[in-house]
């Protein structure tokens, strides 16, 4: 087995890692000429990658599961033994994948360990349950996928088998039920059904095209965040979509990310389509002299960056090649960090509350105290920044986990993990403290004592990216958006041709109040029109016939409710405008 460090796993991760061993053992019994590779625990389960001589399919998974249940009865423990590189290579002499791992371990002077259960032995760092025959009971194989060896498309394509495991049948059943619900909520499926976005082979993978309806949702989200930025003294800026590569060489991104960029050849210079905005914003800060009196300086813009993601890693809106960020950067003094982080977390809470993602926690990434040479910045600034960030989270009663060694080399960060309506966690945004980039670009301000000082830089994007955020909330709401986000807020259905003019005039009245109302004038039956509106998950539907034309009140069909809402037109308009203003989640 390969990374992560399996000796540091939680008990549930150990159980899943142990089940990955069991999966490999079953596969080898069923297909003895298979080459096994690696199989770590991952979020919500585990996987194992195999090189099969003959292709298998999802229909083989029940057979593998049955063999796993038979094998595990004989597994009383995981027996560990250390081996020399030569011994391990001899054991796996017909498996080039294991040989490659063994060579890496020996080069790094890492102990080479083999673990045996029953008749199965694997190369592994460790991290297993005791008494596997008693604990490995509640597991399920989920799916097959293709995966390049070690994620490199230049390497052989392997077959990845995904599975999950829990320590009780109840937890397993609950998770499997959630997976079924997730299938119904798949944003790729709903995006097509609701007419929100599309993909085109002529445009390219990972490059979504948003329809008028999808663009309404994008605009509503982005305008909401822009309003919050303005309220908190961010100034809007604009930058081009290409830049000389010198910018990223100076920032340090070129050495790490040059293979992930889209390159553009100019007549005299090498350019790149921008993969991030922060280096550009440093140049706006550097364009004029700054004083301590000017700080904090806050820039923001909503703009798209581009990264050449591998095609196998792309997935709907949650992993794309064009990433629209509600990006912002603050340049400030160290003494202003606490106040600024407090403000950022306040804004973040407003953004999440507006879409009902109130259940979240923060992964607080700190530097490794035993390996400080990996990080830029002096001890005093790091300690103050980390202590300040942790204290802010405590003061705001925001759940968090402090994880040493996970900080970026340029500063600590907060990764926001939000739980959606069916219990899945999504990493949505990051707030990062940066001591590095201001130094690399020689940014400075005049301090109160007249000396030149280097500012600290904070990176943040409240949605992370518009595309990913939309993918998450489509699934979170199952496409039934709150009124403020719904592309169509009111659908008006005419019973017959005699009612169309009245319907069109009524729609215009709503539009004059900035309410998105549309008329279904198709020749379908009224019943079909109502079913279509329900399928489109429209919040409010009005059916207009002779009776409705002659009434002072509206009879409103409310999404998800059986009884009609009887309400005057003015009260209805007031109700919807209040829901839009308050970002109400309920109808």
* Active site residue ranges: 278, 307, 325, 327, 329, 413, 459
Smallest Cα–Cα separation from 434: which of 337, 296, 295, 363?
337
Q: Tokens 């930058």 map to which residue?
A: 239
Do residues 125 and 5 make contact, with C-beta atoms less than 8 angstroms apart?
yes
**422: which 2 tokens?**
């069916």
Measured from the Cβ of residue 67, the count of other Cβ atoms closer than 10 Å reads 18
**Of 81, 87, 86, which is closest to residue 116 (Cα–Cα)?**
81
Residue indicated by tokens 């995904």: 162
Burial class (CB in 10 A: 0-12, 13-18, 19+), 362: buried
CA atoms of 519 and 497, how far apart (whole Å): 12
Torsion of the alpha carbons at 20, 22, 23 and 25, rounded to the nearest 10: 130
Residue 164 main-chain phi, psi, to 5 deg: -140, 160
Q: How far is CA 167 from CA 127, 140, 493, in A?
A: 16, 12, 53
Least Cα distance to 519 among 484, 490, 479 occurs for: 490
Name residues whose C-beta falls within 8 Å of residue 84's C-beta, 6 or more positions apart in sequence. 112
Token pair for residue 346?
A: 């306040």
At a CB cut-off of 8 Å and minimum separation 6, what does 327 contact?
Answer: 277, 278, 300, 301, 302, 303, 459, 460, 461
């Amino acid at each position: 087995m390969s990374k992560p460090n399996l000796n540091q796993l939680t008990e549930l991760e150990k159980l899943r890692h142990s089940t990955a061993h069991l999966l490999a053992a079953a596969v080898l019994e069923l297909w003895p000429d298979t080459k096994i590779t690696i199989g770590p625990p991952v979020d919500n389960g585990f996987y194992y990658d195999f090189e099969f001589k003959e292709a298998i399919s999802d229909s083989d998974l029940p057979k593998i599961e049955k063999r796993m249940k038979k094998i595990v009865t004989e597994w009383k423990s995981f027996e560990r033994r250390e081996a020399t590189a030569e011994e391990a290579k001899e054991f796996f002499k017909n498996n080039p994948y294991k040989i490659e791992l063994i060579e890496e371990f020996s080069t790094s002077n890492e102990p080479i360990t083999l673990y045996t259960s029953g008749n199965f032995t694997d190369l592994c760092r460790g991290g297993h349950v005791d008494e596997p025959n008693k604990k490995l009971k509640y597991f399920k194989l989920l799916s097959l996928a293709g995966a390049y060896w070690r994620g490199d498309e230049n390497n052989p394509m392997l077959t990845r088998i995904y599975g999950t495991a829990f320590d009780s049948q109840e937890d397993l059943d609950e998770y499997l039920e959630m997976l079924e619900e997730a299938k119904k909520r798949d944003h790729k499926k709903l995006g097509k059904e609701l007419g929100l976005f599309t993909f085109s082979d002529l445009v390219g993978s990972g490059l979504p095209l948003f329809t008028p309806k999808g663009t309404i949702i994008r605009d509503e989200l982005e305008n909401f965040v822009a309003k919050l930025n303005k309220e908190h003294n961010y100034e809007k800026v604009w930058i081009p979509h290409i830049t000389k590569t010198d910018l990223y060489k100076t920032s340090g991104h070129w050495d790490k990310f040059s293979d992930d960029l889209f390159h553009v050849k100019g007549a005299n210079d090498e350019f790149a389509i921008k993969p991030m905005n922060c280096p550009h914003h440093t140049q706006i800060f550097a364009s004029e002299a700054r004083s301590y009196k000017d700080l904090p300086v806050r820039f923001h813009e909503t703009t798209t960056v581009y990264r050449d993601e591998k095609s196998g890693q792309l997935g709907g809106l949650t992993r794309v090649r064009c990433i629209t960020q509600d990006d912002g950067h603050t340049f400030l003094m160290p003494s202003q960090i606490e106040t600024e982080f407090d403000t950022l977390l306040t804004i973040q809470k407003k953004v999440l509350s507006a879409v009902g993602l109130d259940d979240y926690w923060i992964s607080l990434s700190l530097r490794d105290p035993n390996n400080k040479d990996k990080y830029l910045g002096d001890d005093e600034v790091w300690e103050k920044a980390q202590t300040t960030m942790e204290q802010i989270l405590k003061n705001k009663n925001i759940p968090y986990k402090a994880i040493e060694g996970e900080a970026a080399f340029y500063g600590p960060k907060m990764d926001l993990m939000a739980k959606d309506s069916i219990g899945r966690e999504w990493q949505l945004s990051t707030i990062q403290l940066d001591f590095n980039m201001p130094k690399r670009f020689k940014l400075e301000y005049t301090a109160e004592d007249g000396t030149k000082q280097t500012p600290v830089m904070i990176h943040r994007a409240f949605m992370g990216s518009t595309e990913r955020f939309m993918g998450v909330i489509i699934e979170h709401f199952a496409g039934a958006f709150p009124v403020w986000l719904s592309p169509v807020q009111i659908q008006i259905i005419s019973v017959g041709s005699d009612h169309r003019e009245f319907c069109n005039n009524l729609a215009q009245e709503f539009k004059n109040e900035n309410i998105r109302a549309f008329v279904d004038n198709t020749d379908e039956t009224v019943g079909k029109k109502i079913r279509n509106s329900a399928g489109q998950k429209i919040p409010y539907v009005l059916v207009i016939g002779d009776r409705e034309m002659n009434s002072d009140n509206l009879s409103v069909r409310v999404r998800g409710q059986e009884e009609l809402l009887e309400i005057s037109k003015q009260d209805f308009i007031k109700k919807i405008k209040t829901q839009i203003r308050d970002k109400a989640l309920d109808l």
